[in-house]
Amino acid sequence: MDLTAAAFALDRAEQRRDVRGSSEGTTLQSGGDSASVVGLRRVSKSFGPIAALKDVSLDIAPGEIRGICGENGAGKSTLVKILTGVYRPDQGTVLVNGAPASVATPRQAQELGIAMVAQELSLCPDLSVEDNIWLGSLRVPFLHKRPELRRRAAEALALLGADHIKLDALVASLSMGERQLVEIARLLTRDARVLILDEPTATLTDVEIERIFAALIALKREGRSVLYITHRLAEVYAICDRVSVLRNGELVATSALTGLDRAALIELMLGRPSGEMYPEETRARGAPALVVEGLTLPGVVDDFAMTVRRGEILCIAGQVGSGAAEIVAALAGLVHNASGRVSVNGRPLKLGSSARAAQRGIMFVSGDRAAEGVFRRLSVLHNLVATRLRDHSVFGILRTGTLRAAAGRLAMRVGVDRRRMRSRAEELSGGNQQKLAFGRSIERKADGVLLMNEPTRGIDVGARAEIYRLMRAFCEEGYALVMSSSDLEEIVGVGDVVITLYRGRQVGHYRRSEVSMHRIVADITHPVDQVP
Amino acid sequence: MSEQTLPGTWQFDWRLPLPHSRRGKVLVAIRAIAVLALVAVAVATPGFFTPVSLFSLLNTTSFIGCVAIGMTFITLSGNIMSFALGVTLSTSGIVFMAVLPLGLPAALILALAFGAALTGIQGFVVGYFRANPIIVSMAALALITGCATLITQGQGVYPQGEAAAALKGRFFGIPMPVAAFLFTTVIAQVVLSFTRFGRQLYMVGSNWRAALAAGLEPARIVLGAYVAAGLCTALAGILMAARYSSGDLELGLGYDYSAISAVLVGGTAISGGEGSAIRSLVGAFIIGICQALLLLNGFSTQIQYLVIGVIVLLVIMLQTLADAE
């Protein structure tokens, strides 16, 4: 089972053939491209002076899994919101089964069979799976037959290959991936014919991702269509039949994935060749900056050890829940019950306080920007200088001049437009917000250690390359970088040293030259003694 | 669109510093409408523009204002409000009156320290134990009221001698409470804008977890905010006790509510991390003028409560709308 997961993520070419094979029947039945379950005709939508969508036409065939790609702000979410009745187009029409249809409210969209799988799931954790599936459904008559509802709920789950989910289980007891399957089942009982998924895999483990993919392929066999929005190109290749690329509100291409290589897809998204995504390895390595021994987080991580040198990026690879992110957070002083011997530049550091860690030059960039990354309501300037007020104050009084100058320097270093200094952080794109988090973490007097959790989660391809370049630049300056990641491409692309983790235990330790995706996938899905 | 980096291009922004965000615009609109309405009613109210009425207005507003400035620290720190500031005001006044025989300077210091300690304990519980600030303040209200009633037997405390007379006078022609209010506002604004503590307070209020991740000590900063609130409130308590020549539990009644109204009407975000002392000053004047106008037009205290309740409700609804972009 786990090996299939590995194959799924990796051998995309083969996988694509697989998917295509299974879909041939339905595609033929539907008569090729001319049939469309849902479509857009010359749709435009503006918000004030900003055109979010310009003249977009699109057709989704029955039984098609369509990828939607584009950088942040390309118009993906506007497109989805028009299809689901949240926004109305300024111009153009929405077509359902080839005929113009009014999709003015989310409820109308639902009645037409267009359903969005909510990202922040709309399930009630304290109710059972069955109750959640039927909750709020207009198809349940006042005098209903309970066995009948039960049977249909079970059928919907079975269709998704999720028979293992018990109808009486509380949703609170399910994993994120299982909840997503319940959510999809719930939409199926409402006869959804087009399901829209927006970054469904961001919080899932590889095994769960595989389950979701299997469910989507089952839907496709049934002749239902899926709109799949993601930043992870590997997933587009693994699951989608065709991909539509949006750029600055325009639909730049809709293409079959066979024959479209990844570089070409990235170029479509960016409008220019991507250049090198991952910069060159740093030449010089320095002394060990951070040495960790016997790090234990009760119930999560057991006896973890590592050494990070200046000028290198150490990557802790593991699935969500493996403890990789928790190790990084613990080193940042954010886990209270962490124990172990940690030394920074040769001097021991007691864990458990982020302020103490910061004083020793350990800075932390969170993967969860909204919750613990940026100060959304504060200005770009104040976000950039958040950690270094002490360096720019005398007896607690700030020296605004030098503070401003420092912020300007930092903005330039991390590549944030200096004219946006007074904008609130929340007005910036995800990529730029992440740059703020980097900006405030560097240029301390101490020889720094930079800790990162999933540094590019939810960040588009263009900004991602910039973040990687930034990380390399810090290496060149002598920073030691530690990051946790569950993104295979990223791990292989940027890690100078990769430590693989499975359920809180180290599995492997590789130098850059020894790293391969296959090894990592095998490692992070198996306990030490069972790695094939 | 304009997210492309243009290194080295540092252009000065010549436009008026009008807010870009919808939230900011809503704020400006609320203030403009409120001020216009108030001016209209004030002009139509006979006896409003007389020295007596204006001085009385200034005095009342100053007491509300001092507490509101204190409340601003709590609200900015992300802890919504405290129900215990009114009773902190009363008890600080009582302490001031009780220790006045030790001399004015000693009495001032002791009363301020007392106020700071009362709120500081709440700040400690809220900051270090992450307790719900509203519940903590309600518990504090009950505790303080209970203890104070036991100790004073419900009686007022009257000053021995005339040591407090200096506080009833004027400071360069400005009534003492008004001077104290303006002084508090200026100091508070300077602390918020130009000190490390002030900036960190905004960060903690904006996002506690991000502040922790950035290596700040949010709990300590929250404690600081509560202490600042206690100091401002105690100052109001001292001046009020001096003005009425007695320390009494009744003095601070309703002031926490007026203060939070002023903070919110002024435009400080109820969720923390955004606002200022100047805004609360404006808010205090709006609330003070409302109360004065209602009083002059012969409305009872109940109606005053009702009107201010409606105003606060409207402001909260507008804030929420502006946030839900």
Q: Provide ipTM, 2 decimals.
A: 0.84
**In the predicted structure, residue B271 carries a pLDDT above the cut 70:** yes
- The number of C-alpha atoms within 13 Å of B129 and in the hemisphere containing its C-beta is 11
Cβ–Cβ < 8 Å for B179, B171:
yes
Exposure pattern of A79-94 as b/e (b: 16+ CB <10 Å)?
A: bbbbbbbbbebeebbb
- The nearest alpha carbon in chain A to B197 belongs to A396
pLDDT, residue A426, reads: 84
pLDDT by residue (tens digit) across B70-124?
999 999 999 999 999 999 999 999 999 999 989 899 999 999 999 999 999 999 9
Instruction: Assess A412–B contact: CB distance below 8 Å, yes or no.
Output: yes
- The nearest alpha carbon in chain A to B12 belongs to A419
Q: Within a 10 A sphere around the Cβ of A322, how many other Cβ atoms? A: 25
Instruction: Assess A270–B contact: CB distance below 8 Å, yes or no.
Output: no
pLDDT, residue A344, reads: 92
pLDDT by residue (tens digit) across A244-292?
999 888 999 898 988 888 888 888 887 777 667 788 777 777 889 999 9
Cβ distance A374 to B207 less than 8 Å, yes or no, reads yes
Cβ distance A397 to B195 less than 8 Å, yes or no, reads yes
pLDDT band at A1 (very low <50, low <70, confident <90, very high): very low
pLDDT band at B20 (very low <50, low <70, confident <90, very high): low
Cβ distance A415 to B11 less than 8 Å, yes or no, reads no
d(CA A415, CA A404): 16
Across the range A319-332, mean pLDDT stands at: 90
Q: Phi then psi for A249, rounded to 5 degrees?
A: 85, -5
Supply A103's token pair.
């999709």
d(CA A227, CA A243): 9
- pLDDT above 70 as % of chain B: 90
Supply A268's token pair.
């479509």
pLDDT, residue A4, reads: 42
Q: Which residues in A lie closer than 8 A to residue B210 (C-beta atoms)? A: 366, 371-375
Least trusted range by pLDDT, from A220-229, B15-24, B163-172: B15-24
Phi/psi region, residue B85 (left: phi>0; alpha: psi -120 to 50; beta: rest), is alpha
pLDDT, residue B216, reads: 92
Put the strands of the sheet holding A449-453 in their side by side order: A362-365, A449-453, A480-485, A313-317, A497-502, A505-511
Cβ distance A412 to B13 less than 8 Å, yes or no, reads no
Task: State the smallest CA–CA distance between residue A417 and chain B in angstroms.
Answer: 5
Q: Which helix (H) or strand (E) holds B170?
A: strand B170-171
**In the predicted structure, residue B159 carries a pLDDT above the cut 50:** yes
Across the range A360-385, mean pLDDT stands at: 89
Q: Best-predicted range by mean pLDDT among A407-411, A500-504, B51-55, B186-190?
A: B186-190
Task: State the smallest CA–CA distance between residue A377 and chain B in angstroms.
Answer: 6
d(CA A5, CA A501): 17
Task: State the smallest CA–CA distance between residue A448 and chain B in angstroms.
Answer: 14
Cβ–Cβ < 8 Å for A511, A497:
yes
Instruction: Assess B10–A contact: CB distance below 8 Å, yes or no.
Output: yes
Closest CB from A334, A378, A416 relative to B203: A378
Q: Which residues in B lie closer than 8 A to residue A364 (C-beta atoms)? A: 213-215
Which position has the higher pLDDT, A118 or A502? Answer: A502
Q: Which residues in B lie closer than 8 A to residue A463 (C-beta atoms)? A: none
d(CA B257, CA A477): 54
pLDDT by residue (tens digit) across A203-221?
777 778 888 898 899 999 9
pLDDT band at B128 (very low <50, low <70, confident <90, very high): very high
- The number of C-alpha atoms within 13 Å of B279 and in the hemisphere containing its C-beta is 24
Task: State the smallest CA–CA distance between residue B217 and chain A in angstroms.
Answer: 6
| CA A163 to mean position of chain CA atoms | 27
pLDDT by residue (tens digit) across A413-423?
888 888 888 88
Tell me B88's DSSP state: H
3-state secondary structure of A262: helix
Across the range B170-188, mean pLDDT stands at: 91
- For residue B30, the cross-strand partners are none
Q: Which helix (H) or strand (E) holds B309?
A: helix B301-323
Cβ–Cβ < 8 Å for A315, A491:
yes
- pLDDT above 70 as % of chain A: 90
Cβ–Cβ < 8 Å for A277, A101:
no
Cβ–Cβ < 8 Å for A230, A201:
yes
- Amino acid occupying residue A293: E
Cβ distance B215 to A427 less than 8 Å, yes or no, reads no
What are the angstrom distances between the C-alpha of B97 and each of B86, B175, B227? 17, 20, 21
pLDDT, residue A71, reads: 77
Q: How many residues does chain B have?
A: 325
**In the predicted structure, residue A144 carries a pLDDT above the cut 80:** no
Task: State the smallest CA–CA distance between residue A349 and chain B in angstroms.
Answer: 14
Supply A356's token pair.
């103490």
Which position has the higher pLDDT, A202 or A463? Answer: A463
- pLDDT above 90 as % of chain A: 32
pLDDT, residue B107, reads: 93
pLDDT, residue B111, reads: 96
Cβ distance A375 to B273 less than 8 Å, yes or no, reads yes
Tell me A512's DSSP state: G
CA angle A504, A448, A430 (to 5 degrees): 70
Least trusted range by pLDDT, from A8-12, A51-55, A86-90, A332-336: A8-12
Phi/psi region, residue A73 (left: phi>0; alpha: psi -120 to 50; beta: rest), is left
Q: Which residues in B lie closer than 8 A to residue A390 (C-beta atoms)? A: 196
- Amino acid occupying residue A264: A
Instruction: Assess A354–B contact: CB distance below 8 Å, yes or no.
Output: yes
Cβ distance B196 to A396 less than 8 Å, yes or no, reads yes
pLDDT, residue B27, reads: 67
- Dihedral sign for Cα atoms in the order B121, B125, B127, B132: negative
Supply B31's token pair.
């203030």
- The nearest alpha carbon in chain A to B22 belongs to A427
| CA B103 to mean position of chain CA atoms | 28
Closest CB from A332, A398, A408 relative to B196: A398
Residue B277: name the closest of B323, B229, B310, B207 by CA: B229
What are the angstrom distances between the C-alpha of A397 and each of A392, A469, B203? 8, 36, 16
- The nearest alpha carbon in chain B to A368 belongs to B210
Query: Chain A to chain B, count of Cβ pairs less than 8 Å apart?
Result: 110
Q: Phi then psi for B271, rounded to 5 degrees?
A: -90, 0
pLDDT, residue B110, reads: 97
pLDDT band at A532 (very low <50, low <70, confident <90, very high): low
Cβ distance B199 to A389 less than 8 Å, yes or no, reads yes
**In the predicted structure, residue A5 carries a pLDDT above the cut 60:** no
Cβ–Cβ < 8 Å for B84, B115:
no
Supply B70's token pair.
């204190």
Cβ–Cβ < 8 Å for B26, B318:
yes
Across the range A392-415, mean pLDDT stands at: 89
Supply A363's token pair.
């800075």
Taking all residues of chain B, what is their mean pLDDT, rounded to a whole number? Answer: 87
Cβ–Cβ < 8 Å for B90, B247:
yes
Residue A59: name the closest of A33, A92, A27 by CA: A33
What are the angstrom distances between the C-alpha of B152 and each of A40, B90, B247, B249? 76, 12, 10, 9
DSSP codes joined into one string, A82-146: HHTTSS--SEEEEEETTEEE---SHHHHHHTTEEEE-SS----TTSBHHHHHHTT-TTS-SS--H
Least trusted range by pLDDT, from A225-234, A259-268, B158-167: B158-167
In A330-349, the residues whose Cβ lies within 8 Å of chain B are 332-334
Q: Which helix (H) or strand (E) holds A228?
A: strand A225-229
Supply A75's token pair.
């118009």
Least trusted range by pLDDT, from A113-122, A176-185, A337-346, A430-439: A113-122
Residue B184: name the closest of B277, B47, B318 by CA: B277
Instruction: Assess B11–A contact: CB distance below 8 Å, yes or no.
Output: yes
Least trusted range by pLDDT, from A1-15, A128-142, A172-186: A1-15
Taking all residues of chain A, what is their mean pLDDT, rounded to a whole number? Answer: 84
